[in-house]
Amino acid sequence: MTTSLDTRRRMEGALFLAGYVASIPAANWMLGHFGSVCPPDGPCLIPVAPGIMAPSGVLMVGLALVLRDLVQRRLGLVWAVVAILIGGALSWLIAPPALVIASVTAFLISEFADLAVYTPLQRRGLVLAVVASSVVGLVFDSLVFLQMAFGSLDFLTGQVIGKGWMVLLTIPVISWIRRRDERLGLSAV
């Protein structure tokens, strides 16, 4: 039984890692191609609340923060750090040239902040750890990216709300994973 649980854990970890890695180019692609408004000299925007717009990439960034936590849960801390470094490299390669430094810096700071909060909380409860670490990560990502990329925090509220929506939408899945893990005896690494 342990071998099949280990195999299941590694397979799920690989899927979470693939989703995490895919979310990074998706976020960068969305900035230039997906939104209800796409000004020629700025990112595509989406409504995240009544009267509040945000760059469309916020959706994938919020999801990435949750997926990083799940990579760590299934594959361990070392793989989580490897995932962050891969994500930083992808951001460097994919981000628009004018935004590459801001994108990479915000990505690395927010993901390592997420890791720093998730790691000690994960044993207290998966949902608590994911939500708390994601909130810290999304705030850092928003502050650093907006300040470095645009010298302005004009979209801060929208960024936080947009990323927060993605975290909120994952809570039922995270709760299901926690319950299933308990039922199967599938522990975190």
- For the stretch 158-172, pLDDT in tens is 999 999 999 999 999
114 lies in some domain: yes
Structural domain for 157, as ranges: 2-184
189 lies in some domain: no
Mean pLDDT over residues 24-34, rounded? 89
Compute the distance between CA of residue 158 and CA of residue 57 in angstroms, rounded to an integer.
11
123 lies in some domain: yes
pLDDT in tens, 51-106: 999 989 999 999 999 999 999 999 999 999 999 999 999 989 988 787 889 989 99
pLDDT in tens, 98-139: 788 998 999 999 999 999 999 999 989 999 999 999 999 999
Write down the mean pLDDT value for the chain: 92
- By C-alpha distance, which of 62, 70, 55 is closest to 178? 70
Compute the distance between CA of residue 29 and CA of residue 56 in angstroms, rounded to an integer.
9
- Domain of residue 178, CATH code: 1.10.1760
Compute the distance between CA of residue 108 and CA of residue 137 in angstroms, rounded to an integer.
10
Tokens of 136: 């810290």
162 lies in some domain: yes
Question: Which residues lie below 8 Å from residue 189, measured CB to CB, with a gap of 6+?
Answer: 9, 72, 73, 74, 75, 76, 77
**Whole-structure pTM value:** 0.92
Helices within the chain (DSSP H only): 2-33, 58-75, 77-94, 100-121, 126-150, 156-184
Burial zone of 61 (CB within 10 Å; 0-12 exposed, 13-18 middle, 19+ buried): buried
Mean pLDDT over residues 26-34, rounded? 89
Q: Is the pLDDT of residue 1 over 70?
A: no
166 lies in some domain: yes
User: For the chain, how many structural domains are there in total?
Assistant: 1
